[in-house]
Amino acid sequence: MNIASYIDHTVLKPTTLVADVEKLCAEAIQYQFAAVCVPPLFVKKAVGLLAGSAVKIATVIGFPFGYSAIEAKVAETVLAIVDGADELDLVINISALKNNDWQFLAGEINAILPIVRKARKVIKIIIESGVLTDEEIIKCCDLYGAAGVDFIKTSTGYAEKGASVEAVQLLRKHLAEKIQIKASGGIKTYTFAKQLIDAGATRIGCSSSIQIVNEAAGQN
């Protein structure tokens, strides 16, 4: 397994420096990671740093809590696309979900998905699985699966619980095969990353990417 090809090499801390993004992108080219995931402020910078490489540029929308207004998320989406992002990791309105307002969530994705599709970009829906019940996760599969998103992503990394093998297995069971799964949040070892991939994840979001790749090399 080429673990690097599964990894979104990530820096999303609120104190992110230009130097952090420069280092991230250099490492992504060196190790041939699938993508980098950077704050919206640094999308243009990443585009320049990764020019000519196969590494994709991902950024986040409504991050990390998801309760931005739909109009704000639409504006963020448009700006990210204008700045050159290839992939958009969108946090759903978890407050709306917890209030059982699935109509609001449907309106949210219906406002954003056409913009992404028109620009031929990739959208990953962050559901924050660690704070959801199994029933809520399954409802997310139904809603976002029917919408035809590209990925469902487990976590932001900011909730009390991140990715889990159980959540990935549950997502895989209830999603069409064409909809991929990104596991993220608390992934620090090759062993855990491989467990998540074996459970059905096709992308791993982490900041411990190099450690994971080195551990993988040591086991092969």
Q: Which amino acid, one-letter code, is at 15? A: T
Helical residues (DSSP H) of the chain, grouped into ranges = 18-31, 43-49, 70-83, 94-98, 102-118, 134-147, 165-174, 190-199, 209-219
The answer to whether 182 is a known catalytic residue is yes
Residue 220 has pLDDT above 80, yes or no: no
Number of domains in the chain: 1
CATH number at residue 120: 3.20.20.70
* Active-site residue (options: 56, 73, 182, 194): 182
Domain membership flag for residue 120: yes
- Average pLDDT of 9-14? 98
The answer to whether 153 is a known catalytic residue is yes
* Active-site residue (options: 86, 89, 121, 139): 89
pLDDT of residue 218: 87
151-206 pLDDT tens trace: 999 999 999 999 999 999 999 999 999 999 999 999 999 999 999 999 999 999 99
User: Range of 68's domain?
Assistant: 56-219
Average pLDDT of every residue of the chain: 97
Whether the full predicted model's pTM is greater than 0.75, yes or no, is yes
Share of the chain above pLDDT 70, in %: 100
CA dist list (Å): 40 to 62, 160, 182:
10, 24, 19
- CA dist., res. 144 & res. 4, Å (int): 27
